[in-house]
Structure 1
Amino acid sequence: MPKIIDHDQRRQDIIDVTWQLIVEGGIEAATMREIAARAGFANGALKHYFPGKDAIIKGAYEHSLRGLGDRLAAHVAGKRGLEALEMSIRFTLPVEQEDATAARVLLSFWERCVFSSELDHDYDEHLAEWTTSYLQYLREGREDGDIVTPAPDLQLANEIITMNLGATVTRVVSPARFDAALLEAQVSDYIARLGRRDCP
């Protein structure tokens, strides 16, 4: 009787191996040959599951996003407005070791985006989704009277994303300079400014 192959599980195994290789040695370590060897495939067999390396890298990136998204959804469930916004900002900062690991994968993905229009497009879609969530929380915060700053909501959402991305880069590239307490204080200050009319 022929062996039944779970192709979805094989694809997930390849993604898991790629994710681990990137964590260990960056995107350079995740060569097609090394991915195949670590996953237990013959060289060249990966093409049966992914059209190329970019598709595998995208899978590893989405693996990180799914984990973060699931944990974040659990944290903000039942919350809205300013409370949901603050919780979302704090939760997505790369403070814990698990977050630092995911940040390394993200940084490798950004590097690959520079040379791949397909991946660049995918990341643009992710940023758009991220922005939409923040805009919803900001709108709710204004409805609740907690957010009164005259600064436009789109500007505020982009500031949050910039703060998060900057923290991600610092956490990976210069961990000795990464001060989690200072970053948390910056978030507290940012949230406080949203409730002041004199802070554009």
Structure 2
Amino acid sequence: MPRIVDHEARRRELTEALWRVIYRDGIETVSVRSVAAEAGCSPGALRHYFPEQKDLIVSAMDQMSGRAGERITTLDPAGTPVDRLLAYCEQLIPMDAERRFEAEAWLGFITRARRDADLKELSTRVQHTLRGFLSHLLDELGFDVGEAVRLHALVDGLTLHLLLYPEQLTPERAREQLRAHLVRLPRKDAGAAAPL
């Protein structure tokens, strides 16, 4: 009896192999051969799913951007608006090994996207989606939506510092800095202070 192959699961396995190569060796080492070796398959088997290296990278980038989204949709934080906003923002920052892995791989993707129009388009779309999510979240929790750009920049900055300077910025310290910013966010009705 022929073996039934779950093609979507196989595509995920191959893109996850790409993430591991990027995380371990850097984006510049990515090739069909290196990803196939990591996935334990032949280059021909990988090309069956991703005819071009760019197809694999675009798919991996797309799936990576969805991981934080999946975590966020299952989140239902309690507490004050600041507590809830903090919980959501922490899903976007490398506060643990899983999120660090994602952020390292994403940094590789966006570095490559600077020289690749297809990847740049996807990277830009993800950034717009994230900005939209933060705007929606601020609005839903009663904060001034005009703060979305600054909050987005803070999330990105904390992410980079956690990746590049872990001896200077720990996840605990990043959480403190994020909370310190959030408690000062203006409310929709500018006269009201955000509850702590």
TM-score, normalization: structure 2?
0.81
Partners of 2:117 and 2:106 in 1: CA distance: 16
Partners of 1:104 and 1:153 in 2: CA distance: 29
Once the two structures are aligned, what percentage of the paired residues are identical? 24
Deviation string, structure 1 residues 158-180 (Cα, Å, up to 9, x no partner): 11111111122222222222233
Structure 2 partner of 1:177: 168
Question: Could you tell which deviates more after superposition, 11-20 or 85-94?
Answer: 85-94
Tell me how far 1:4 sits from its aligned partner.
4.5
Partners of 1:86 and 1:4 in 2: CA distance: 44
Distance change (3 Å), C-alpha of 1:8 and 1:179: closer
Distance change (3 Å), C-alpha of 1:48 and 1:80: farther
Q: 1:81·1:138 contact (CA, 8 Å) conserved in 2?
A: no
Question: Could you tell which deviates more after superposition, 178-187 or 117-126?
Answer: 178-187
Structure 2 partner of 1:153: 145
Question: Could you tell which deviates more after superposition, 156-165 or 50-59?
Answer: 50-59
Structure 2 partner of 1:163: 154
Structure 2 partner of 1:129: 129
Q: Report the aligned-residue RMSD.
A: 2.7
Distance change (3 Å), C-alpha of 1:33 and 1:24: same
Tell me how far 1:102 sits from its aligned partner.
1.2
Structure 1 partner of 2:54: 54
> What stretches of structure 2 of length at least 5 have no aligned partner?
none
2:95 aligned with 1:95: yes
Q: 2:94·2:103 contact (CA, 8 Å) conserved in 1?
A: yes
Which amino acid letter does the alignment assign opposite residue 38 of structure 2?
R
Distance change (3 Å), C-alpha of 1:36 and 1:153: same
Partners of 1:105 and 1:59 in 2: CA distance: 13
TM-score, normalization: structure 1?
0.80
Structure 2 partner of 1:120: 120
Q: 1:82·1:140 contact (CA, 8 Å) conserved in 2?
A: no
Number of equivalences: 190
Partners of 1:138 and 1:183 in 2: CA distance: 20
Partners of 1:122 and 1:79 in 2: CA distance: 34
Which amino acid letter does the alignment assign opposite residue 31 of structure 1?
S
Structure 1 partner of 2:183: 192
Deviation string, structure 1 residues 133-170 (Cα, Å, up to 9, x no partner): 2212222333xxxx3xxxx624x111111111112222
Structure (1 or 2) with the greater helix fraction: 1
Distance change (3 Å), C-alpha of 1:82 and 1:184: closer
Which amino acid letter does the alignment assign opposite residue 177 of structure 2?
Q
Structure 2 partner of 1:74: 74
2:24 aligned with 1:37: no
Q: 1:85·1:134 contact (CA, 8 Å) conserved in 2?
A: no
Structure 1 segments of 4 or more deviating over 6 A? 77-80
